[in-house]
Amino acid sequence: MKRFIGEIQKRLMIFGLSNNYIYSILGVVVGIFSMYINIIPENLHGNANTIEILVIAFSIFSIAYKFYVETQELDERNNEFFEIEVNNYKSNVRDKIILPYVYRENGYSIQEFNNERFVMSDEVNNLIYSGKFSLNLDYSGKFILSKEVKSIAPYALNKAFKAKSTIYNSQLIGLADEIYLNHDNKIRVQKTDYFQGLCTNEMVYTKLKSVINIYDSFVFKGEDLLLDENGELIQLCESLCSNYLGGSTLAVTNDNYIIINSQSAKSDANRGRLAPSGSGSTDFRDLKKLIRKKKESDQTFQELVKITMERELREECGLLFKNVKMKSKVIGFARLLERGGKPDFFGITYINIRHDKIKKSLKEYLEIGDYRIVTIPFNSYREIPDILFDLIDQDKNKISIQIHIIAVILKYFYDNGYDLFSDLEF
């Protein structure tokens, strides 16, 4: 069902809502309503329902025909481009990446796990964990695709629809500011959506050539969305990418178990891999919830990230409709270069429940297939990063980059004498 809705959303993004659909839907509604209340006299043309049936039939035909025409046009526009340098473009772009001076000045470095690269700073993570990194939200409206990206959107979306079993255009929040040590007290966020992310962040390692005219000079180079003319990583405040915000949390229970999700083969990301207890994107509804439930002084960026992490945790661990107390803390930030430099935050959560009370969510099961909840016992919180690194050493191909990043962050804090989880206990 979601895939069908996704197909409709794809057309709305490419073509918009045409008058044809509006008038046809209106015709169906008016026809059905007219039949229901029988406002046309029975002696009109000898049949009370003839006109209504004709109106409904014509409107449905008009909708179907418009849908068919758009499908044909989408296929044509999808075939306007072909991918070039398929085998080496990504590696060439990745090898070019240089961090700008301001990144290096803030302690950022490029790190790698299992051939996946990310940008992270111990100094920035330390600031985030300390609680001194308290930023008010500055909502800057809607993200808008550039003209060049709009031209290749049909190709990008069709490519995604072929590769993914479940696809749906969720309304998301994107980050439009950097995370630096000396930050002002506001951070800009904007409304975006999943499809815009597919057309930007997920296309940075793709190079396209026009097939309409082989001599056409137009070439879409995804790297232009990621790097500037000097090969430096474009800052979030200057980026043409959606940069939809992600959040991942590692949860522990009150009987000393770590909760980890083993993703299904149909998951959108990290298929078949071990992932954090809760992991996903910041929905626009998370921002609305923050504004609705928190007083203005508490409407901070950190609270938005916590809402995301805890919602994902409740959804994936079957806790949505259970009155289970939990406390979370944001402990780190990274830009995932494999995902076009998209921003992700990382946290930890203490759940006041026993591990055997945590079950798979039926909603998640129906959407992404059979995933598993893995519980791992521990004796002390200090053991947790070691347990995660043991999992990585067993088979790093089955571990998500988010688990690795959380393990690295936890190790840094414990090596420097911090006691993370104890602060969260009830």
Report how far residue 282's alpha carbon sits from residue 271's, in angstroms, rounded to the nearest whole number.
20
Report how far residue 220's alpha carbon sits from residue 266's, in angstroms, rounded to the nearest whole number.
29
The tens place of each residue's pLDDT in the chain, 426 residues long, gives 666 777 777 777 777 766 776 767 776 777 677 766 655 455 444 455 677 777 778 778 877 877 777 777 777 777 778 888 888 999 999 999 999 999 999 999 999 999 999 999 999 999 999 877 777 888 889 999 999 999 899 999 988 888 766 788 999 999 999 999 987 788 999 999 999 999 999 999 999 988 776 666 668 999 999 999 999 999 999 999 999 999 999 999 999 999 999 887 667 777 789 999 999 999 999 999 998 877 777 788 999 999 999 999 999 888 877 789 999 999 999 999 999 999 999 999 999 999 998 887 666 656 666 678 999 999 999 999 999 999 999 999 999 999 999 999 999 999 999 988 888 888
Q: Could you tell me the pTM of the whole model?
A: 0.87
Which value, to the nearest 10 degrees, does the dihedral of the CA atoms of residues 232, 233, 235, 241 take?
130
pLDDT confidence of residue 68: 75
Report how far residue 282's alpha carbon sits from residue 277's, in angstroms, rounded to the nearest whole number.
16
> In this structure, are residues 290 and 307 in contact, taking their beta carbons and an 8 Å threshold?
yes
**Which residues, in sequence order, are CB contacts of 290 under 8 Å at separation 6+?**
137, 299, 303, 304, 307
pLDDT confidence of residue 319: 87
pLDDT confidence of residue 354: 94
pLDDT confidence of residue 368: 62
DSSP 11-28: HHHHH---HHHHHHHHHH
Report how far residue 255's alpha carbon sits from residue 416's, in angstroms, rounded to the nearest whole number.
26
DSSP 106-168: TTEEEEEETTEEEEEEHHHHHHHHHT----EEEEEEE----HHHHHHHHHHHHHHHHH-SS--
Report how far residue 250's alpha carbon sits from residue 70's, in angstroms, rounded to the nearest whole number.
44
pLDDT confidence of residue 372: 85
> In this structure, are residues 248 and 281 in contact, taking their beta carbons and an 8 Å threshold?
no
The tokens for 196 are 């815009």
Report how far residue 371's alpha carbon sits from residue 271's, in angstroms, rounded to the nearest whole number.
10
